[in-house]
Structure 1
Amino acid sequence: MEKLSISDLHIILVEPSDTQRKIITTLLLKEKVKEIDPVSTLSEAMSAVKAHGADLIVSAMYFEDGTALDLIKFIKENDEFKTIPFMLVSSENRISKLEEFKQAGVSAILPKPFEPLHLSRALNASLDLINHDELELELFDIHDVRVLLVDDSKLARNHIRRVLEGMGLQRIKEAENGAMALTFIKDEAFDLVVTDYNMPEMDGRELSEFIRFNPETTHIPIIMVTSEAADSAHMANIQQTGVNALCDKPFEPTEVRQMLAALLGN
């Protein structure tokens, strides 16, 4: 399939403010986006998606008829639309609110106001989700790499799986928490573990410690996916458990590709 460029994207822009819609539309046009479908409510957005689909949805957080989470769930729970990337644009800065969207598997989160550079990066991150580009490894066939994906959020797992599958990874097993992952690890062999940090029953730190300090699994590379700040006390403790790489949510394909090449290329 021919790869899309930014100029090929059909974007549904969901923004309740007339002024913000005009500002964001202008910035998208400057990025060479040609097809922008602006709407002001969630119901209009859902109708637009059902009528003609989209390559990307760019949305504010709050509306009179709900929040962007309602729109994400509508998209992700519909087989026809679930692969449409979702970009959040919001002035919301409360970590707990943004965490909900990171767990939901958005392709990018942009603050209001944002710089053109940030928009360009977010558009390219969304394109990476649309355009599949297999990772080439010297020592492995990417199709044979066995991955254990651990996250208590199904939406987050779906997003991470999509990123990994877009790079050619096919043998992906999912676990809802560290305890479930542990049962899989005891029975099966894996070449890579991608795990969330915050999970019930057994979190990512405990799972990583088991993997790293068990002679039979100590060789398995671990990517920790988290929305925690890199300089937080939690992250300092995580790095001491032998995690190979830390990846922020949203799970950006370009960053992940570099990590996989480094971890699996040797």
Structure 2
Amino acid sequence: MNRIEMNELSVIVIEPSVTQSHIVERYLHNLGVRTIDMLKNGASALEEMRRTPPDLVISALYLSDMTGTDLVHSMRKESQLADIAFILISSETCFRYLDPIKQAGAVAIIPKPFSQDDLQIALQATLDFIDSPDITLENLEPESLQVLLVDDSDMARKHARRVLEAMGVEQIAEARDGEEGAYQVREHYFDLVITDYNMPRMDGQELAHFIRNSSDQPSLPVIMLTSESNEHRLAMAREAGVSAITGKPFEPNTLKRLLEEVLREA
């Protein structure tokens, strides 16, 4: 399959600010994007997506009729729109506002003010996301790997599963929190665990500690995909036995590299 190019992207932009919409549209044109629909609210964007699904949706957080969070969650609930790449552009920094968007599998979150280079990086991540079926694991047999996905967000698990399946991974079990993940590790053999940090009942750090100290698979590689930004907590997760950590949203190529590294070491 030929890789999609920047000038082939179809993009819907939802931005209520006239000034900001002009900036985004100009940057997109400068980067070679030619098919751009500029809209001002979430309802019209959803209507347009249903008529002609784009490759990418770029949205502000605060819209006149809903939030960017409402928009991406609505998209993820509709089969026709569920796999469309989503980028948020926002000056919001509060974890509780941004985390639901990260959990929904956003390709990127671009903070305001932003540059054309920032947008270019996000668009490159979008191309990688769209072309993830072309991302193959080197010197591994992905169809034989047994992977456990642990995350309390259904959308986050779905996003990670999509990327893994695109890499050729076929045997994927799921758990909704660390306690359920620990049960599955007790009952089944796995080659790899991919877990979130913040979860009810048992978090990702506690799950890693259980695997290293109380399971029959103490050398089981554990990759943490998380929106947690507290460096002290992340350091504690590493000490508990997490093999590698990357943030949400994550790029398919980043997950590919981590899988190759931790499985090679294992």
Q: Is this a same-fold pair by TM over 0.5? A: yes
Shift of 1:90: 0.7
Q: Secondary structure at the match of 1:181?
A: helix
Shift of 1:110: 0.3
Is the Cα–Cα contact under 8 Å of residues 91 and 112 in structure 1 kept in the other structure?
yes
Q: Secondary structure at the match of 2:228?
A: coil
For 1:212, give the aligned amino acid: R
Q: Please, what TM-score do these two structures have when normalized by structure 1?
A: 0.95
Aligned twin of 1:177: 177
Distance in 2, matches of 1:166 and 1:9, equals 20
Aligned twin of 1:258: 257
Report the identity percentage.
Answer: 39
Distance in 2, matches of 1:153 and 1:195, equals 11
- Please list every run of at least 4 consecutive aligned residues from structure 1 whose deviation after the TM superposition is greater than 6 angstroms: none
Distance in 2, matches of 1:3 and 1:255, equals 18
Q: Secondary structure at the match of 1:66?
A: coil
Q: Secondary structure at the match of 2:122?
A: helix
Q: Deviations over 1:64-116 (max 9, x none)?
A: 11111121122101111111011000111212211121122211100112122
Aligned twin of 1:81: 81
Is the Cα–Cα contact under 8 Å of residues 41 and 63 in structure 1 kept in the other structure?
yes
For 2:244, give the aligned amino acid: A
Shift of 1:130: 0.9
Distance in 2, matches of 1:228 and 1:120, equals 25
Distance in 2, matches of 1:21 and 1:215, equals 53
Aligned twin of 1:191: 191
Are residue 136 (structure 1) and residue 141 (structure 2) matched?
A: no
Distance in 1, matches of 2:215 and 2:72, equals 42
Aligned counterparts, 1:1-266, within 5 A: 1-131=1-131, 132-138=133-139, 140-214=140-214, 216-229=216-229, 232-266=231-265
Q: What root-mean-square deviation, in Å, do the aligned CA atoms of Structure 1 and Structure 2 show?
A: 1.4
Shift of 1:137: 3.1
Q: Deviations over 1:163-194 (max 9, x none)?
A: 22222222111100011111211111110100
Distance in 2, matches of 1:172 and 1:251, equals 19
Change in Cα spacing, 1:50 to 1:215, as seen in structure 2 (3 Å) is: closer
- Structure 1 residues 112-121 or 212-221, which shifts more? 212-221
For 1:261, give the aligned amino acid: E
For 2:31, give the aligned amino acid: E
Stretches of structure 2 that go unaligned for 5 or more consecutive residues are none
Is the Cα–Cα contact under 8 Å of residues 129 and 166 in structure 1 kept in the other structure?
no
Shift of 1:61: 0.6
Shift of 1:25: 0.5
Is the Cα–Cα contact under 8 Å of residues 151 and 199 in structure 2 kept in the other structure?
yes
Stretches of structure 1 that go unaligned for 5 or more consecutive residues are none
For 1:192, give the aligned amino acid: L
Shift of 1:215: 5.9
Tell me the matched-pair count. Answer: 264
Distance in 1, matches of 2:215 and 2:104, equals 35
Is the Cα–Cα contact under 8 Å of residues 135 and 261 in structure 1 kept in the other structure?
no
Distance in 2, matches of 1:82 and 1:50, equals 11
